[in-house]
């Protein structure tokens, strides 16, 4: 299933949570993976040592990147392309939340979520598109959210960034389909990572009551969907959003 042998794939925010699972699953399926961290180099180093013990070889590496800074993204793209000239896939996974009800939301909190999640994905995608266009191959996977599909009180900035990413992805899918490049999204529901750990017990119960499968998902469950979209098994899919949400939203 979802063989990724020989594929070179770049993942943002691989140091923990969903990104870390994506990196592990891709490497287990035979891909060589470059991934980024923002502040936690220790987690990135720990993950790399796990990867190096796999059969997929010693080509994996990580770099520091701040998605909110254009220079940082440009420099990472350049460095990745020196090793992955014929890059096969990109996963725009890294993302942040800065929640608050709108009347209390600071302009800088709105801006930083849009800048990191939406503009950051734009910069990464733009950076890797040129070599993909030249090679006439590529699969880009953008991690959005169920919140971008339904909206959520207290997350107007985050919801806008994720809905924006979905619309962005469909537009790029149309621009590059004729060159055999596919662009798809995965919209996770409620996944057990640090991003969701801080929620109160009450909020957790409220969310659980809205999930038909009656449980929170593990990050691997998103990673398998990413592996599928990066593999040739999904080669007739573009401009789509795969929902991995336990039935929380049926769009
Ligand atoms: P985590 O908060 O657990 O991890 C976030 C990752 O992004 C880390 O690797 C972090 O690096 C990196 N990161 C943080 N800020 C920046 C930045 N400014 N520039 C570059 N990288 C950065 O998140 P999750 O794993 O939970 O989420 C991953 C993606 O999935 C996000 O896009 C999120 O919106 C989406 N998602 C998550 C859901 C969930 O329930 N968890 C549900 C729906 C969508 P470092 O470790 O160095 O800090």
- DSSP for 134-166 reads HHT-EEEEEE--HHHHH--TT-HHHHHHHHHHH
Strand order in the sheet with 181-188: 61-64, 32-37, 8-11, 89-92, 138-143, 181-188, 241-244
pLDDT of residue 1: 64
Sign of CA dihedral 152, 37, 199, 226: positive
CA–centroid distance, 205 to ligand 1, in Å, is: 22
Instruction: Output the pLDDT for position 56.
Output: 67
Compute the distance from residue 134 Cα to the ligand 1 centre, in Å. Answer: 30
Structural domains of the chain, ranges and CATH numbers in brackets:
8-242 (3.40.50.720)
Of 23, 31, 69, 73, the C-alpha closest to 49 is 23
Predicted local confidence at residue 187, as pLDDT: 98
Q: Is the pLDDT of residue 62 over 90?
A: yes
The H or E element containing residue 186 is: strand 181-188
- Reported as half-sphere exposure (CB side, CA atoms, 13 A), residue 207 has a value of 21
Query: Quick one: 71 exposed, middle or buried, by C-beta within 10 A (0-12, 13-18, 19+)?
Result: exposed
Query: CA dihedral in degrees (97, 144, 220, 239; nearest 10)?
Result: -170
Q: What is the pLDDT of residues 111-127, one digit of tens each?
A: 999 999 999 999 999 99
Q: What's the 56 CA to ligand 1 centre distance in angstroms?
A: 25
Of the CA atoms within 13 Å of residue 211, those in its CB half-sphere come to 20
* 86, pLDDT greater than 90: yes
pLDDT at 198 over 90: no
Q: Which position has the token pair 């399926």?
A: 29
Q: Which residue has the tokens 């790029």?
A: 172
pLDDT tens digit string along 17-50? Answer: 999 999 999 999 999 999 999 999 999 999 999 9
CA of 130 to the centre of ligand 1 (A): 26
pLDDT band at 251 (very low <50, low <70, confident <90, very high): confident
Report which protein residue has its CA nearest ligand 1's atom 33. Answer: 95
Spatial separation of the C-alpha atoms in residues 121 and 114, rounded to whole Å: 10
Helix locations, 97-247, DSSP H? 107-113, 120-135, 146-150, 156-176, 194-197, 201-208, 219-230
Q: For ligand 1, atom 9, which residue shows the shortest CA distance?
A: 13
158 is catalytic: yes
Mutational pocket test of ligand 1: of 11, 15, 21, 38, the residue with most ligand atoms within 8 Å of the beta carbon: 38
Global pTM value: 0.98
Centre of ligand 1 from the C-alpha of residue 230, in Å: 20
* CA 66–ligand 1 middle distance (angstroms): 12
**CA–CA distance, 225 with 38 (Å, rounded to integer):** 24
Would the pLDDT of 2 be above 80? no
Nearest-atom number in ligand 1 for the CA of 13 is 9
* Least confident interval from 38-47, 142-151, 177-186, 191-200: 191-200
Q: What is the pLDDT of residues 151-164, one digit of tens each?
A: 999 999 999 999 99
Q: What is the mean pLDDT of residues 188-203?
A: 90
Residues lining ligand 1, Cβ inside 6 A: 12-13, 15-19, 37-40, 43, 65-68, 93-96, 116, 143, 145, 188, 190-191, 193-196
Q: Which atom of ligand 1 is nearest to the CA of 18?
A: 25
Q: Choose which residue among 10, 12, 13 to substitute to test ligand 1 binding: the one with the highest number of ligand atoms within 8 A of its C-beta.
A: 13
Distance (Å, rounded) from C-alpha 199 to C-alpha 155? 13
State the pLDDT at residue 162: 99
Exactly one of 158, 224, 236, 249 is catalytic; name it: 158
**Rounded mean pLDDT, 115-144:** 98
Q: What percent of the chain has pLDDT over 90?
A: 91
**Residue to substitute in 10, 12, 18, 115 for testing ligand 1 pocket (most ligand atoms within 8 angstroms of CB):** 18
CA-nearest of 181, 178, 247, 172 to 211 is 247
């Amino acid at each position: 299933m979802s063989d990724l042998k020989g594929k070179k794939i770049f993942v943002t925010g691989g140091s923990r949570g969903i990104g870390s699972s994506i990196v592990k699953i891709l490497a287990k399926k035979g891909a060589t993976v470059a991934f980024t961290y923002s502040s936690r180099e220790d987690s990135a180093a720990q993950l790399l040592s796990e990867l190096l013990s796999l059969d997929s070889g010693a080509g994996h590496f990580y770099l520091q990147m701040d998605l909110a800074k254009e220079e940082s993204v440009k420099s990472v793209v350049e460095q990745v392309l020196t090793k992955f000239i014929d890059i096969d896939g990109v996963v725009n996974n890294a993302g942040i939340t800065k929640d608050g009800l709108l009347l209390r939301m600071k302009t800088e909190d709105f801006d930083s979520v849009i800048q990191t999640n939406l503009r950051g994905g734009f910069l990464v995608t733009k950076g890797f598109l040129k070599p993909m266009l030249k090679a006439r191959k590529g699969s880009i996977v953008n991690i959005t959210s169920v919140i971008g599909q339904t909206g959520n009180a207290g997350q107007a900035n985050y919801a806008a960034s994720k809905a924006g990413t979905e619309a962005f992805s469909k537009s790029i899918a149309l621009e590059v389909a004729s060159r055999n490049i596919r662009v798809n999204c995965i919209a996770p529901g409620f996944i057990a990572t640090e991003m969701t750990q801080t929620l109160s017990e009450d909020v957790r119960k409220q969310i659980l009551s809205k999930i038909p499968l009656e449980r929170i998902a593990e990050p691997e469950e998103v990673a398998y969907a990413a592996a599928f979209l990066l593999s040739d098994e999904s080669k007739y899919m573009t401009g789509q959003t795969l929902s991995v949400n336990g039935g929380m939203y049926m769009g």
